[in-house]
Chain A
Amino acid sequence: MKALITGASSGIGCEMAKYLAKQKCELILVGRNKEKLQYIQNNLPTKSTIIAIDLTDEQKVKELYVLTKNENIDILINNAGFGKCDYFDKIDLSTELEMININIKAVHMLTKLFLKDMLKRDKGYILNVASSAAFTKGGPLMATYYSTKSYIYTLTEAIWYELKKRRSKVSISCLAPGPVNTNFNNIANVKFSVKPMKKEEVAKYAIDQMFKRKKLIIPGIKMKLSKFFGRFVSDKFMLMIVYNIQKKKITSNK
């Protein structure tokens, strides 16, 4: 089996690489930092190829596909992404556009391009990493991030249904982790109110569930509950909760 993982140089992506390598999976590791990728390449038990690339560049995403389309990739994991926490009017527009490029455009493009090939071979798995942020009806103070993750969630669920109706052997899953202890937190300027889960656990759970062709993968009982809970409260109430949680993050950082 061969897997391509974006955002493999740290966090959940890196843990997924380790877990897949343990299962004798051949890997293509995609990330921004070449040295970090080299480091992971050297600590994996199986053969891997590294590709250093900035996925915020649309052209580069296409080139990534061209470069790897003949590798017969069985597993595509769209994990690269980042978030930023502050008032909508205060976050730099270029940062947000970059976020949209990597969180939405890159995932969309890679999913489409590789899905076509997988359908031709009638096998394969795609795992799109969204976030538990995807379930709320908006995320004050992380407006753009929540929106990008909703996009991934909605898109993936729709494709999942299309595949199911066509009885395809290709499967697509959406991973919606709650807070996880990764480098993300440093970049996003965030401290979590819910105790973060260990990234190894999340990665292992996600991969196992992906092989079981689950549509939506939510690691951790607390996050499962919060999704359930979200059904019974009004949208406005949910917004209020999210606002208060995020607000604490910014103020505790200042």
Chain B
Amino acid sequence: MKNNELIEIKNLTYKNIFHELNLVLPKDKFISISGTNMSGKTTLIKLLSGLIKTEDSVFYKNIKIEEINKSHYFNEIGIIIPVEKQLFINDTVENELFSILGNIRIEQDEKILQYQKIIKLLDIEGILSQNPNELGKYNRVKLLLASALLSSPRTLFLDNICSDISKNETKDIINILEKINKDEKITIIMSTNNLNEVLTTDYLYILKNGKIEIEGNPIDVLKQDNRLNKIGLEIPFMVDLSVKLNDYSLLDDIILDMDRMVDSIWK
């Protein structure tokens, strides 16, 4: 394993989902994993984050996940799987975050800085007094992100965190994730079934029936509209449009921004 590699999967066979899967995930990158329902995304996230056991096939920083002390590993990573049921014990978001901070072993001054930084980063000033059990999906994801970030993880595993969240809110979450990845140097591994979310990530894997069907730079992957359609994935509108315009030689690259698109066609 080279220096810039974080996780390696060797010959992973798991139930009927994966058969001899091989995969290497780089460090410090924002990686997305997509595929239709039942393609194995969630299982992969769980296997990588150590939530379900493998048979000696997943290596984190060159060590088998099974051989890493669980507490140690869970300190190093953050896992967010919003569909799983969790009740919050505290009556407000603020108290919930405080009680997490209380369990982290850093200096008091650092705690305050950390807290303020995360509040600002996630822009959750407005929900601090709300009951965490009564938050909407969007704010709940933000709270889960904040809770995970408080303990300064090196890697974040996110399973379909933007499902059932509006378009603009999704954009907002993805922007935050990009910031976390770039500024804090936290590796992000995110699964999603919405290809709109993967456009700005560093690398994209498309899973089909437990196998990597396509991989690479997201834009390059998304250009292969025929293959994606066959898999049953919906190509984001702007990408689809760009690809079609490319076919008629009206455009030479992929443009994601609507205004820029209008400008370049107008020329």
User: Are A49 and B51 interface neighbours, CB within 8 A?
Assistant: no
Tally of contacts, chain A with chain B, CB under 8 A = 57
Is the C-beta of A214 less than 8 angstroms from some C-beta in chain B? no
Bound: A48/B84 CA distance, A: 9
Is the C-beta of A54 less than 8 angstroms from some C-beta in chain B? yes
Is the C-beta of A50 less than 8 angstroms from some C-beta in chain B? yes
Residues of B within 8 A of A28 (CB): 87
Bound: A201/B184 CA distance, A: 46
Is the C-beta of B102 less than 8 angstroms from some C-beta in chain A? yes
Is the C-beta of A64 less than 8 angstroms from some C-beta in chain B? yes
Distance in angstroms from A191 CB to nearest chain B CB is 20
Distance in angstroms from A71 CB to nearest chain B CB is 9
With A36-B71, A39-B51, A54-B99: A64-B79 Cβ-Cβ less than 8 Å: no
Residues of B within 8 A of A54 (CB): 99, 102-103
Residues of B within 8 A of A34 (CB): 86, 147
Residues of B within 8 A of A50 (CB): 84-87
The contact sample of 25 A-B pairs, CB cut-off 8 A, is: A35-B74, A35-B77, A35-B79, A36-B70, A36-B74, A39-B50, A39-B74, A41-B84, A42-B46, A42-B52, A43-B51, A43-B52, A48-B85, A49-B87, A50-B84, A50-B86, A50-B87, A51-B86, A51-B87, A51-B89, A52-B86, A52-B89, A54-B103, A60-B99, A64-B89
What are the nearest 8 A-B pairs in CB distance?
A35-B74, A42-B51, A49-B85, A53-B89, A51-B87, A50-B86, A63-B89, A39-B51
Is the C-beta of B10 less than 8 angstroms from some C-beta in chain A? no
Q: Beyond the given A28-B87, A39-B50, A39-B74, could you list 5 further A-B residue pairs with CB under 8 A, ordered by the A residue number?
A: A32-B103, A47-B85, A54-B99, A60-B89, A63-B90
Chain B interface bracket (under 10, 10 to 19, 20 to 34, 35 or more): 20 to 34
Is the C-beta of A225 less than 8 angstroms from some C-beta in chain B? no
Residues of B within 8 A of A38 (CB): 51, 79, 81, 84
Chain A interface bracket (under 10, 10 to 19, 20 to 34, 35 or more): 20 to 34
Q: Across the interface, name the chain B residue whose C-beta is closest to A49.
A: B85
Most chain B CB neighbours (cut-off 10 Å) among A28, A34, A41, A67: A34
Distance in angstroms from B104 CB to nearest chain A CB is 12
Bound: A41/B79 CA distance, A: 13
Distance in angstroms from B96 CB to nearest chain A CB is 9
Distance in angstroms from A181 CB to nearest chain B CB is 16
User: Are A43 and B53 interface neighbours, CB within 8 A?
Assistant: yes
Is the C-beta of B20 less than 8 angstroms from some C-beta in chain A? no
Is the C-beta of B169 less than 8 angstroms from some C-beta in chain A? no
Residues of B within 8 A of A185 (CB): none
Interface set, chain A 1-49, CB cutoff 8 A to B: 28, 32-36, 38-39, 41-43, 47-49
